[in-house]
Every structure is written in C-alpha cells, then in structure tokens.
Amino acid sequence: MANVFGTGTTGQTGSQTGGSNNQIVVARARAALEQLKQQTAAELGIQNYDQQYKGDLPSRVNGSVGGYMVKKMIAIAESQLAGGTTGQF
C-alpha cells in the first residue's frame, strides 16, 4: 500500500526504502514553490539562495527557509479554506 507521505509502503520511511519523500505532489506547482523559496530566503536576508551550495550554509539557515515556507503555505491554505482566494506569498 502506498504511503501518502513518500514513495515507500505504509510503515516505511524514505530512508528505509532508499528514496526521497520530498516529492512535489502537483507537478505544476514546482515553479511556484521555487518562487516561494527564493522570496522567503530574501525576506530572511539570504541573497542568491538559488545559486548557493546549500551544503555551505548552516542547517539552521536552510531549516529557517523551509520553516517559513511552511508557515506561508499554511496561511495560504487557511485563507482559501475560509473563502479567500489569495495566492500571494
């Protein structure tokens, strides 16, 4: 049975199956997610985030970008569920 969080079967994680569970569910959203990532990094004061080797950045920096992206995506989803139509980041 497929796991909704990754490519493994239920009860297995991505590391156990050798795959990554960082897959984009809606392929057309890839560009919007990249834009959101760049905008979030810029708001955190990280310039040229897309051109940097992420291994040279502290995990706290990369985690902050991802964490703030999640906050923004939750705000967008809540707005849409409440009847708003904002697609703004």
pLDDT range class, residue 83, cuts 50, 70, 90: confident
pLDDT in tens, 24-63: 788 888 889 999 999 999 999 998 898 988 888 899 999 9
In a domain, 21, yes or no: no
Quote the number of domains for the chain. 1
In a domain, 34, yes or no: yes
pLDDT at res. 5:
43
The closest alpha carbon to 33, from 78, 65, 79, belongs to 65
**Residue where the block lists tokens 């967008």:** 76
The arithmetic mean of pLDDT across residues 67-73, rounded, is 95
Q: Is the pLDDT of residue 74 over 50?
A: yes
Q: Note down the domain range covering 52.
A: 26-81
Torsion of Cα atoms, 77 then 62 then 43 then 32, to 10°: -40
Helices (H), the chain: 14-17, 30-43, 59-81
pLDDT at res. 87:
62
In a domain, 54, yes or no: yes
CB 23 within 8 A of CB 51: no
pLDDT at res. 1:
44
In a domain, 16, yes or no: no
In a domain, 15, yes or no: no
In a domain, 89, yes or no: no
User: What does pLDDT average to over the chain?
Assistant: 79
